[in-house]
A and B are shown apart, each in its own frame.
Chain A
């Protein structure tokens, strides 16, 4: 096991995957000698990644303070990792996670928690289904449940820019989809999406991402003052929870911090997520 520098708690490095270097941030646990749980964080896509950086950093430090090691890994073409988004595809991202877990096995321990936010949560579930590495536990923050719907929301950015008068006619979501179907790369708000990546995301349906061996804690943010999930999401979330062996749902009132206009934080999500792992048996 690698000796962690006792004075530093967070360390940035590039992980060589053999398919390019991935930017990583490792948060060493406070009591390194007793650390027996390692967390791999899977970030969301696009602007959601940027808007949620602060929450990801705060949660990582909260985990480290509580005695867990955390590895944040930027996927191919995202954040500070090598590669361009136009060359990214879902299988490459799954491979990146494989490298991340492998690194944790080699440097921390083999009791792995996957913690994902938004599309990162969906990716975590898919990775776990395919991976030969056992996963002990999933922490899912507001998973993307329907890839096609999610992508349509992303494609709308071009349309929205037109609506607010910023650009000329760029075509609606259907014309963008037609271009993708013709094999064209499209660019939305600075993000280049290849047809291959679009096809993978479109195919995502949380109902097909089951967890048999690991336990799951699913966190959904609801508006302040609300007491339950919104009608548009309630049934599908509950149905997933009920259909998986060991899954629990937590609804947290607070801001949808991955998509608010200014960077926001959701304190309760941090404290309730932390509380889950403290209860894990040693």
Chain B
């Protein structure tokens, strides 16, 4: 069988995930060198593949990857058919409603801009507030400033970007961190390997938490 395949999001969060894998006993000296998107570990037990964060759920769901490391924001938005195995406790952020302090929410339908349209709609529906969701793909903070939307739903890390654009957090929906996910068939047919990665990462996460 091919080595266990772990999908990681390209970018700075990949480095954190790799450091957890290294702390779990895998060796990925090839990571970060060259432009290959497939990085095997020296022991041959697994390979890391670099994938756009939004695509990790479908790779795992369809079995093209056995495991994935992906943010809770993406999981909540896409509701993929994957099992969440562990909270890796990095990549911390919060999903928030943000807008100009001046926005008055009473009565009217709210126009919401977001890269997470399903999350946004679900939130306002749960509050019983009629909403119109405008799907955006980047620089979401611009939308309320230019009058395209009333508020935005987006992940907030330090809050600096919001402040720089005179926006404030109006409400927090949930906390976001990176999660380890798998699909039902990998869980069952590669039980021992998945369990090995899971327990290694669980210990690595616990060790990091006890130090910080």
Report whether chain A binds chain B.
no
Instruction: Please report B residues at the A interface, Cβ cutoff 8 Å.
Output: none
